[in-house]
Amino acid sequence: MIGRRRLAFAAVAAPFAHLSAPSAQTGQGGGWNPSRPVRILIPAVAAGGSDTATRIVAPRLSALLGQPIVVDNRPGGAGNLANEILAQAPADGHTVQMGTIGNLAVNPLIQKNLPVDPLRDLTHLSLAVQVLNLLVVPADRPWRGVADLLATAKARPGSLSYGSSGVGSAGHLAGALLDQVAGVQGVHVPYRGGGQLIADILSGKVDYAFATAATTLEHVQAGRLRALAVPAAARSALVPDVPTVAETGAPGYAVLNWYALVAPRGVPRPAVLRWNAALREALRDPETVGKLAQQGIEPLTSTPEGCTEFMEAEVAKWAAVVRAGRIGAD
């Protein structure tokens, strides 16, 4: 199954394969090192996917950079608060953010007059990781597969609710795309992070959710939640018996959930290169990669320029979904 999983990523990321090839200058790290503790902002509450990934990678990054790392959770405004704090921080390489698909690519599509444009106002250091999401339902619900869920949704339009970790998050996009591909109408319930979402789906307050394996897998294994599918292009080695959404009710459906490391605009090039090289090296560390894999998280690094190109493509892709679904911040 590992071969299939790697092939799945290749199918999604093939157009961007060139983005991960480091230049000689990038590989050298630019000759810069932080002179004091560094801060990594998280645009969500603790226990969510971006928080989990960052806390796993942080010890190795700290060792490579030679300074302590402070993980600073700053939820609010669907991730916009973290963007604002980052944009206002000194552009000296000592404050970065582990941003998400939501607050780096989607928020500008669904919210007007944001003070920070992630493409224009931030420095893109590197793509970081891709995250396995699961389509889960409470164990007491009757649905055994995506086809069952969609049958109920079609029979009772607007009666089923799906939760996500926030407006514009990967889970929100996954639900909106399912609505469009399958011709159903789910009611979106946004939360301020994955932890709050999981609490409510466990209690049955929402009917289904696309949420990270980091927050759902233990509950699936304990029988408290049921995993109906993975939204990725192919099955995962972590849950090889769980089919894809495309296999079981929505052909052609696929969503890639990604995080990227970004900094304030104007960070000196040597600092950009040092962060890029350190993240690449951290995500080659076997112990770190193993811990990430247990949470359904895989390395997805790039050059700084590759990160920008990838983000621009994601904005264009999701703009079509946002328009079709008339998705807004409300």
pLDDT tens track for 157-173: 999 999 998 888 899 99
In this predicted structure, the answer to whether residue 91 has a pLDDT above a threshold of 90 is yes
Question: Looking at the structure, do residues 141 and 126 belong to the same domain, yes or no?
Answer: no
Mean pLDDT of 218-223: 97
As to burial, measured by CB atoms within 10 angstroms (0-12 exposed, 13-18 middle, 19+ buried), residue 46 is middle
Residue 257, beta-bridge partner list? 131
**Among 218, 248, 278, which residue terminates a domain?**
248
Domain range for 154: 133-248
Question: Do 101 and 171 fall within a single domain?
Answer: no
DSSP 8-state class, residue 326: T
pLDDT in tens, 14-70: 445 556 666 544 445 658 999 999 999 999 988 888 999 999 999 999 999 999 999
Predicted confidence (pLDDT) at residue 8 exceeds the cutoff of 60: no
**pLDDT greater than 80 at residue 139:** yes
Stretch 134-163: mean pLDDT, rounded?
Answer: 97
Q: What is the pLDDT of residues 231-281, one digit of tens each?
A: 998 899 899 999 999 998 788 899 999 999 999 999 999 999 999 999 999
260, 318: one domain: yes
Please tell me whether residues 217 and 151 are part of one structural domain. yes
Task: Judge whether 241 lies within some domain.
Answer: yes
Using one digit for the tens of pLDDT, what is the confidence trace for 284-308?
A: 999 999 999 999 999 999 999 999 9
Q: Per the domain annotation, does 145 fall within a domain?
A: yes
In the numeric block, the tokens 């990594």 are attached to 40
The token pair at 328 is 């807004």
Q: Which of 195, 220, 248 is the last residue of a domain?
A: 248
Whether 122 and 144 map to the same domain: the answer is no
What's the CATH code of the domain at 177? 3.40.190.10
- CA torsion 217-155-148-254 (nearest 10°) is -60
Nearest-angstrom CA–CA distance, 283 and 70: 19
Q: Are residues 116 and 265 in the same domain?
A: yes
Alpha-carbon distance of 288 to 321, in angstroms, equals 34
Q: Are 123 and 269 part of one and the same domain?
A: yes
- Is the pLDDT confidence value at 1 over 70? no
Within a domain: 141: yes
Is 121 found in the same domain as 34? yes
pLDDT digits (tens, 9 = 90+) for 178-197: 999 999 999 999 998 788 89
pLDDT at residue 48 in the model: 81
Supply the pLDDT for residue 272.
99
pLDDT of residue 16: 54
Residue 48 backbone dihedrals phi, psi, to 5 degrees: -85, 180
Q: How many domains does the chain have?
A: 2
pLDDT confidence of residue 88 = 99
Domain edge (last residue) among 214, 232, 248: 248
pLDDT, the chain, mean: 91
237 with 278, same domain: the answer is no
Assigned domain for 179 exists: yes
Q: Are residues 260 and 212 in the same domain?
A: no
Task: Summarize the confidence of residues 218-226 as an average pLDDT.
Answer: 98
Residue 93: φ, ψ to 5° = 85, 5
What radius of gyration, in Å, describes the C-alpha atoms of the chain?
Answer: 19
* CATH number (domain holding residue 120): 3.40.190.150
Residue 330 lies in a domain: no
Report pLDDT for 195: 83
How many angstroms from the chain centroid is the CA of residue 18?
21
pLDDT at 249: 78
Residue 99 sits in the same domain as residue 242: no
Report pLDDT for 252: 87
Identify whether residues 243 and 287 lie together within a single domain: no
